[in-house]
Chain A
Amino acid sequence: MDIFLQQIINGLVQGSIYALVALGYTMVYGIMGLINFAHGEVVMIGTLVTISVAGFLIKAGMPVIFAGLAGLTVSVLVCMALGWGLERVAYRPLRNAPRLTPLITAIGMSIVLQNVAMIIWGRNYLTFPPLLPSVAFEFGGAHFTAVQVIIVLVSALTMGGLLFLVYRTKLGMAMRATSQNPAVASLMGVNINRVIAAAFIIGSALGALAGIMVGTYYEIAHYQMGFMLGLKAFTAAVLGGIGNLAGAMLGGILLGLIEALGAGYIGDLTGGFLGSHYQDIFAFLVLIVVLMFKPSGLFGEKTGDRA
């Protein structure tokens, strides 16, 4: 039982990380119908900037908590600027191009960002400074840390905050209008350039937050860390219904749980025939089954022509 509980905790934390990244994908997709494949790299940049800033300040003798907050602020600002720049350089000129074109530039931007990060931070793995105290808890034989609790809380709060933004504010209303029909929205006085830029900036800020969480949790970072993470988070977003904020959260947590339980029990259930190397296959199998019965994902709504 303690092992099962431990696997649930493992899955929940891993899933919350996926969810936090998936929110960034879904945010942009919900408004523009564009899959921003460079989002994983924004997460990576967020982590690496925090390492540089917080690491420097800690070395300069600043208390860890302030250094961490400074790192967070700088990395969120850098990622916001990056998100704005990405949209301005790679996507806005292609707003009316065929849908495949921005997808290609997205992949291109992802490669560019990886290589820029490699030039700036080098090829080596970097250690993330321990910004949060490593307090460990034990509950029913399962071990977990304060960082894990914070990750789950942060992703839940972020989702709540985004839901509030989209459904309760004027900017959110403009976003929903742009999502439904950009041409009509602009006729109604919505500055769609500004709305889309805002979506990118907010999505990238979330990416920075996700990056800091990932960094604090694993305590390592690397210029390629965003790639797999982005892919998994994208899968989570699709599973939950891309474009839907609650769906991204649910999809992420579901994917994390499936992976943990798959890796933990698949070997015993099949009598050793399938091992833990099938955990990804298991996760994608669930995705395929969900998409067969609900092509728009678990929470996905019919988004019409733009989806």
Chain B
Amino acid sequence: MQAKLSVVALSIASVFALGACGEKEAPKPVEAPVAAPVAPPPKPEVTVKLGHVAPMTGPQAHLGKDNENGAVLAIEELNAQAIEIGGAKIKFELLAEDDQADPKQGTIVAQKLVDAKVTGVIGHLNSGTTIPASKLYSDAGIPQISGSATNPKYTQQGFKTAFRVMANDVQQGKALGEFAAKQGVKTVAIIDDRTAYGQGLADEFKKGAEANGLKVVATEYTNDKATDFKAILTKIKSKKADLVFYGGMDAQGGPMAKQMADLGIKAKFLGGDGVCTPEFMKLGGPATEGHYCSLPGMPLEKLAKGPEFKDKFVKKFNGEIQLYAPYVYDAVMVMADSMKRANSVDPVKFLPEIGKTSYDGVTAKITFDEFGDLMSGAISIYQYKGGKLEYVTTVGAPVEVAKAEVAQAVAEVKDAAMAVAGAATEAGKGAVVAGAEAVKAGADAAKAAVEKK
């Protein structure tokens, strides 16, 4: 019976195959005239599909939406520029997918994008989803640029398609360890959320802290859906740590800082990019005051294109930037820039160009090393102060820091000069007005004299 069935199946399959062959042959004669344009036809429009993946549901949905907004903004600007690549007008289209910050779902949507034959992928947001998905993209030859996956493993798998526009956790962990040591901290407790990102960052911080002579007195764990941390915090309290480091996201970090205060823990809280958000302060309330976090790159205000991007973003989406939107925006721009330079939207052709990128982005001057990691990634430390993230210092990339500081000094001098000039002009204006009044008075007097006569 089974044999018979398979014979039937085979014959059906062959009929379909034949049918497919026939279809393929049919349009050939039609194609020929298109290939040889006689009169200049309207420029062909090619749609380039870019995939974007981030958690749009679940505890990190607010960050996922922020990433997507960054990508949407970039795509809109690209389409407004009406770019031509390879003689065709290019229209970018965003295929946004939701991976729920779940590694399993991450590979499912990655396969979906591969099947949809996207030209490139922006994302994913989390390291935990980016790493397993990157294999699928690599196998399909689809370039992938993540704006936020910081786990070092992502670019160390030997995939030619994997890039990121953010410093990785090795750099961040080292910088945070150095910073903690400078604060006069002797003992640290480390908590991570058991995700690829949190665990990776916590491990790197541990290395960085120990390299700077700090003692790790407790290592505790939670998960990326938890709301109660009192049990592990109580244990940390018993170990008398000077500083609590958290490798994880804001949705847990905020309540954690609050519960630290509730338990009477006086230690400082320090976290990575995942907690460096306005959301962290909203969730933690006044308990977040005085704590620290770090963010790869320089603060937007200190970057040439930063304030402009911020204005555009706030105007379009009527809300603050949460975290990674500028990085994702840059990722899209780098992808488009590589296509322009390769003069092709074929991944095979423009992939080598991504590696050679030298793009002046919103977040940094983007160049990649041989692994696809961002070169010379600076790490900035921020302090939560009065409901705002206040820039403290930048660790790493001294040249860029110096440059930014010089630029700022120049700007200040310029401002001062402008002010002086303004004052001078103002004084001049006063004199002119006085003069004019004198003239007017003279004229009036003359008029009066004439009338009298």
Which residues of A does B touch, CB under 8 Å?
A: 3, 6-7, 10-11, 14, 118, 123-125, 127, 136, 138, 143, 145, 218-220, 222, 224-225, 228, 259-265, 267, 275-277, 279
Contact = CB atoms under 8 A, between A and B. Distances in A.
A123 B57 contact: yes
Contact of B231 (A219, A222, A225, A263): A263
A192 to B, nearest CB: 38
Interface in B31-67: 56-59, 61-62, 64-65
Contacts of A224: 57-59, 225
Pairs of residues from A and B, 7 with the lowest C-beta to C-beta distance, nearest first: A123-B61, A277-B221, A263-B231, A10-B230, A3-B238, A260-B231, A124-B62
Given A10-B228, A264-B231, 18 more contacts: A3-B235, A3-B237, A6-B230, A7-B234, A7-B235, A11-B231, A124-B62, A124-B279, A125-B62, A125-B254, A143-B262, A143-B264, A218-B228, A224-B57, A225-B227, A228-B225, A228-B227, A260-B230
Contact of B235 (A136, A259, A276, A277): A276
A228 B58 CA distance: 12
Contact of A220 (B220, B263, B283): B283
A123 B223 CA distance: 19
A123 B67 CA distance: 13
B448 to A, nearest CB: 63
Contacts of A6: 230, 234, 237, 263
A264 B227 contact: no
A210 to B, nearest CB: 14
Contacts of A260: 230-231, 234
A303 B377 CA distance: 65
Contacts of B105: none
A143 B263 contact: yes
A259 B258 CA distance: 20
A253 to B, nearest CB: 15
A285 B234 CA distance: 23
Contacts of A125: 59, 62, 251, 254, 279, 282-283
Interface residues of B, number: 36
Interface of B: 56-59, 61-62, 64-65, 194, 219-223, 225-228, 230-232, 234-235, 237-238, 251, 254-255, 258, 262-264, 279, 282-283, 285
16 contacts: A118-B61, A123-B64, A125-B251, A125-B282, A127-B282, A127-B285, A219-B255, A219-B258, A264-B231, A265-B235, A267-B235, A275-B219, A275-B220, A276-B220, A277-B194, A277-B222
Given A3-B234, A7-B234, A10-B230, A118 B220 contact: no
Contacts of A7: 231, 234-235
The prevalent SS among residues of B at the interface is helix
A14 B234 CA distance: 14
Nearest to B220: A276
Contacts of B65: 123
Contacts, number: 97
Between A125, A143, A145, the greatest number of chain B beta carbons within 10 A of the residue's beta carbon is seen for: A125
A265 B258 CA distance: 23
Q: Which of B194, B232, B263 has the most CB of A within 10 A?
A: B232
A218 B227 CA distance: 7
A110 B21 CA distance: 48
B163 to A, nearest CB: 28
A123 B232 CA distance: 28
A118 B55 CA distance: 14
Contacts of A14: 228, 230
Given A123-B62, A125-B283, A143-B263, A220 B255 contact: yes
A276 B283 contact: no
Nearest to B229: A263
Contact of B221 (A10, A11, A259, A275): A275
Nearest to B287: A219
Contacts of B238: 3
A263 B194 CA distance: 15
A259 B194 contact: no
Contact of A279 (B231, B254, B279, B283): B231
B283 to A, nearest CB: 5
Contacts of B227: 218, 220, 225, 228
A10 B227 CA distance: 13
Contacts of B221: 275-277
B127 to A, nearest CB: 18
A291 B408 CA distance: 68
A259 B225 contact: no
A222 B234 CA distance: 25
A227 to B, nearest CB: 8
Contacts of B219: 275
Contacts of B235: 3, 7, 263-265, 267, 276
Residue picked from A10, A136, A260, A267, most chain B C-beta under 10 Å: A10
Contacts of A218: 227-228, 255
A222 B251 contact: yes
A228 B226 CA distance: 8
B181 to A, nearest CB: 24
Q: Tell which of B58, B226, B255, B258 has the most Cβ of chain A within 10 Å.
A: B58
A182 B283 CA distance: 47
Contacts of B222: 276-277
B189 to A, nearest CB: 11
